[in-house]
Chains A and B, each alone.
Chain A
């Protein structure tokens, strides 16, 4: 089983739609979680951190479910500019491995 798994998509949605991505992780001791956005031919950039209590930033909401070991990203009122690949990142617990683990990314296409 891969350490971090994401549905690669693509998710093809109309403008204004709400879309949600899930990401599961295998290491129950993982401490911190992030969503990154990667535009075509660009480097990944941090979209938002994922806190235990969940967090919201404008149209974006991130949730963490430790019991089921998954994190989610909800995008409301999708814009054309939201089209990108969204990467789930899980940071280790600081004991053994110290390398952030990236999911393979979920592609989102928002169309008019």
Chain B
């Protein structure tokens, strides 16, 4: 199993500002992901956070908007940059140990941009 601490749990931010979300895992994991989930919608993968190298972004997401750090195998951050109301969403970090294992999620960060 894995215990994930994600913070902040929620925030209300002004447009044009940036927010950094942190994800701390209680054990080393190779694969860590960042997802976005808009109200009533499914999970959308933003990127895979790679330890020691640049994150791998999915189509529609770019590093300038969502810079990600992964300094070690237990920690990652996602920054939502230059926010607009369209960025209002729940952001979730997730870890995964391999094919026959389950994915674990942080508690989510509920972001509202005003």
Which residue on chain A has the smallest CB distance to residue B45? A99
Number of residues on chain B facing chain A (CB within 8 A):
21
Which residue on chain A has the smallest CB distance to residue B43? A102
Number of residues on chain A facing chain B (CB within 8 A):
23
Q: Is the CB of B96 within 8 A of A94?
A: no
Q: Known contacts A49-B102, A99-B48: does B107 contact A43 (CB below 8 Å)?
A: yes
The reply to whether the CB of B105 lies closer than 8 angstroms to some CB of chain A is: yes
Query: In the assembled complex, which residues on chain B have CB atoms less than 8 Å from the CB atom of A91?
Result: 99-101
Query: In the assembled complex, which residues on chain B have CB atoms less than 8 Å from the CB atom of A102?
Result: 42-43
Which residue on chain A has the smallest CB distance to residue B10? A41
The reply to whether the CB of B52 lies closer than 8 angstroms to some CB of chain A is: no
Instruction: Pick the contact of B103: A41, A89, A103, A104 (CB < 8 A).
Output: A89
Q: Is the CB of B41 within 8 A of A104?
A: yes
Q: Is the CB of B110 within 8 A of A41?
A: yes
Interface string of A38-63 (1 = CB under 8 A from B): 00011111100100000000000000
Q: Which residues of A contact B (CB under 8 A)?
A: 31-32, 34, 41-46, 49, 87, 89, 91-94, 98-100, 102-105
